[in-house]
Chain A
Amino acid sequence: MTAGDQAATAGGLRITEAAPGARFSLRLRPEHLPAAEAALGHPLPRRIGEITAGQGWRALMLGPDEWLLDRPAGGPPALPGAPAHALVDISDRELILRVEGPAAAELLSIGIPRDLRGLAPGQGCRTVFDSVPVILVREGETAFTLAVWRSFAPHVAGLLEIGRREIAAGL
């Protein structure tokens, strides 16, 4: 893992490893959403790919019954009185790579098959990067974060580094 520790800058592209945060997977039935929102104290997104934020938390809807909750640091969310749900600490599961720069979408497209023009800033999704499952969030017009399972991270970081050099060299 070389790209992770040292910020690599060339061609306006920056690939850095983001500080580890607190990440939780929340699974519950859609009909239990209002009760879970009341327990959390902030709304959860209702459309797959949407993100809501509140009380220091950020919630990304990954599937019809699946949300990813994250915040910079701290313990799990308190869900007093929430109906049947599964809340799993996945903070250590993934490394977060941050890709910034005017060509960030072009760089990610070397491994991501989705049309990233359809992913607006402030949206996210689970997808694949060169056959590796990743969670991609478009933080801004030219900034993305890519959550990669630890064991796959050297492969993804290596490919991104090759792509960054190619873009920097004008290929």
Chain B
Amino acid sequence: MLLIHCPYCEQDLPEVEFAYAGEAHIARPADPMALSDEAWAAYLFFRSNRRGVHFERWRHIHGCGRFFNAARHTVTDRFLTTYRIGAPRPDSAALPEAGQ
């Protein structure tokens, strides 16, 4: 079973307690009316879909209920780190096993 570290509970807990919530660090444009249709579509629908270290949101829905961010390697499915909402995005090169 995949264990995910919840940065609020500070424990490694089973994956079934968590829900995936899409790519992280995507800010809603401050003024959507000023955007072109293409730029708005890019915000709404287009995601990086990376092969490698992917920054994504998770929610500990069957636990503390909090959203947090995680860096996961999409090839190995390993969680490299998890961090609280509001914390800066870690440098992906500095993460353990990021090169794998």
The chain A residues found within 8 Å of chain B, CB to CB, are: 48-49, 62-64, 66, 113-114, 118, 125-128, 131, 133
Query: In the complex, how many angstroms separate the beta carbon of A86 from the nearest chain B beta carbon?
Result: 14
- How distant is the Cα of A49 from the Cα of B11 in the complex, in angstroms? 11
- How distant is the Cα of A118 from the Cα of B11 in the complex, in angstroms? 10
- How distant is the Cα of A126 from the Cα of B13 in the complex, in angstroms? 12
Contact A126 B14 (CB under 8 A): no
User: Could you say which interface size class chain B belongs to?
Assistant: 10 to 19
- B78 an interface residue at 8 Å Cβ cutoff? no
Q: List 18 A-B contacts (CB under 8 A).
A: A48-B8, A48-B64, A49-B9, A62-B64, A62-B65, A63-B63, A63-B64, A63-B65, A64-B8, A64-B64, A114-B14, A118-B11, A126-B62, A126-B63, A126-B64, A128-B16, A128-B17, A128-B62
Contact B13 A114 (CB under 8 A): yes
* Pick from A49, A113, A118: contact of B17, CB under 8 Å: A113
**Residue on B with the closest CB to A61?**
B64
Nearest 3 pairs of A and B residues by beta carbon? A63-B64, A113-B14, A128-B62
Give 16 A-B pairs besides A48-B64, A63-B66, A114-B17 with Cβ atoms closer than 8 angstroms. Answer: A48-B10, A62-B64, A62-B65, A63-B65, A66-B65, A113-B14, A113-B16, A114-B14, A125-B9, A126-B62, A126-B64, A126-B65, A127-B62, A127-B63, A128-B17, A131-B16
Chain A residues with CB under 8 A of B14: 113-114
Chain A residues with CB under 8 A of B93: none
Q: Could you say which of B13, B14, B63, B65 has the most chain A C-beta atoms within 10 Å of its C-beta?
A: B63
Query: In the complex, how many angstroms separate the beta carbon of B29 from the nearest chain A beta carbon?
Result: 29
- B94 an interface residue at 8 Å Cβ cutoff? no
- How distant is the Cα of A113 from the Cα of B65 in the complex, in angstroms? 17
- B1 an interface residue at 8 Å Cβ cutoff? yes
Chain A residues with CB under 8 A of B66: 63-64
- How distant is the Cα of A125 from the Cα of B1 in the complex, in angstroms? 19
Chain A residues with CB under 8 A of B65: 62-63, 66, 126
**Residue on B with the closest CB to A128?**
B62
Query: In the complex, how many angstroms separate the beta carbon of B59 from the nearest chain A beta carbon?
Result: 11
Contact A127 B17 (CB under 8 A): yes
**Residue on B with the closest CB to A129?**
B62
